[in-house]
Each structure stands twice: as C-alpha cells, then as structure tokens.
C-alpha cells in the first residue's frame, strides 16, 4: 500500500515546480514599452496562471534553475545569434541535455528552436537566402499529424516569422514536423516532450508589424520590400493553439 504521506509530499513537490520561461534577450526598447517583451507574449499564449511561471533572464545574469524544479521550459527568441556562442547561450545549451534526460517538456521558439537543435547535435548557421520575416505559410508533414502539439491542426496554416539563422541539420533521431517554402526545418520534436519551432506562435499582428518596421534595413539587405512585407501580415490563430497546448501539457 502506498503511504498517503508519500502521495501528499509528491503533490507538494509538483505544486512547487514552475514553468520556466528562459528569456534569451529583449525586444526593441520602444516595442517593449508599448507591446511588452518576449516573456509577456509567451505567458499570455500559454494560458496559465502567473503563479505557475518563473522568468529567468539569462543574459542579465539570472542562474539557470535546477532541472528538478522545472515543470516545463520555454526558451524564447533573441536578437543574438546562436553561432555567436555567447557565454550565457552556451550555458543554456549545456543545460538542455539534462532537461531532455529528465523528460521535462521543452519548447524552443526561434532562437530557442535553434539552440535546442545545436545542444542535441544539430547544425545551425545563417540561412543562405537571408531573412525570413512576416507572415508565411507553414506545412505540417504527413508523418507528424499525431504529434501532441500539432495533431488535428490544418495541414497548412499561417505563422509569423523573423529569423536569419536556421537549423541546417536536425539532430539525429529528431522528428521533422513542419516546413515552409523558405525554411525546411520549421518544427521538430526530440523524444515525446521536446519541441523546437522556428516560427513565432506568441506574435500577434501588431508585434509582427513592429518587428518588420524596426528591421527595415535588414529587410532591404535581403532584397525584400518593407511595404510588401507589411501588406502580407495577417492574423495567425493556429500557432497560438500550439502554444496553448504546450501550456496544457506543462500544467
């Protein structure tokens, strides 16, 4: 017979765990003032209580939490590049395999997607075609239709994107889930509880428009036209469902 005290202790320990948002940088200052920052958008999309969340700002010196205190982990986007191998980024990279080993649910978004891939043996570098930015079409691959985060979703949907680096090669044993005409590795899974997604489920149209406007020079360097990018921005409700599903899994 299982001791009730043991059950109670396990319940207490589980309740003490937090969903960790790894904040891998800041958005543009004016955007942060009026629209919020990475952690705000992610928190909103997860649809969980504030008491369930702990934000860890790694670039500003916050220590990485012990794996056993993590109910789930979301790694945000960043204005840094994974290939810079900044000390704080390398620290997260070295922490990720322990999360995988413990089967802690992980969701890497954009930078987090790339860092998850690199940590598990994949290769990340700049995309040969430059930046992918704005609203684009995402295609779910046939063999990923039963994935926990993606099952039941339309085979094609729109998502917001903003990245210059890409996962050139997925880690061994990773399952490729989604692609776009520009990006072959838009989503992947490792095991049953770790996902990387290159697109931004946490972005809404205002955030995407503000990013495009702030990155006009980069857009021009890639041979794109800002006005055309802005015209194509539209609502993206499907990716938001993916983020909410991860929140449900974490709960």
Residues identified as active-site: 110, 200, 202
Strands 165-169 and 123-126: antiparallel
Rounded Cα distance between 131 and 225, Å, is 12
Nearest to 137 by CA among 221, 199, 64, 205: 199
* Calculated CA dihedral for residues 90, 93, 99, 104, nearest 10 degrees: 120
Nearest to 122 by CA among 198, 205, 218, 206: 198
Contact 144, 150 (CB under 8 A): yes
């Amino acid at each position: 017979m299982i001791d009730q005290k043991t059950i109670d202790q396990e319940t207490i320990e589980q309740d003490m765990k937090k969903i960790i948002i790894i904040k891998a940088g800041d958005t543009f200052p004016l955007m942060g003032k009026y629209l919020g920052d990475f952690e705000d958008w992610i928190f909103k999309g997860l649809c969980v209580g504030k008491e369930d969340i702990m934000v860890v700002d790694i670039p500003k010196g916050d220590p990485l939490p012990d794996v056993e205190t993590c109910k789930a982990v979301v790694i945000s986007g960043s204005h840094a590049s994974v290939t810079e191998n900044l000390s704080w980024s390398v620290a997260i990279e070295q922490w990720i395999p322990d999360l995988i080993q413990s089967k802690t649910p992980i969701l890497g978004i954009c930078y987090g997607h790339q860092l998850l891939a690199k940590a598990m043996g994949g290769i990340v570098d700049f995309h040969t075609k430059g930046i992918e930015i704005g609203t684009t079409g995402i295609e779910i691959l046939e063999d990923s239709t039963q994935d926990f985060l993606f099952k039941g979703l339309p085979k094609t949907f729109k998502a917001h994107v903003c990245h210059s680096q890409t996962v050139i090669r997925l880690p061994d044993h990773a399952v490729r889930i989604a692609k776009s005409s520009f990006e072959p590795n838009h989503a992947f899974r490792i095991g049953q509880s770790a996902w990387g997604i290159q697109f931004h489920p946490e972005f809404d149209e205002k955030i995407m428009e503000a990013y495009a406007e702030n990155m006009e020079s980069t857009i021009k360097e890639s041979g794109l036209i800002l006005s055309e990018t802005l015209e194509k921005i539209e609502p993206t409700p499907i990716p938001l469902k993916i983020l909410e599903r991860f929140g449900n899994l974490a709960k």
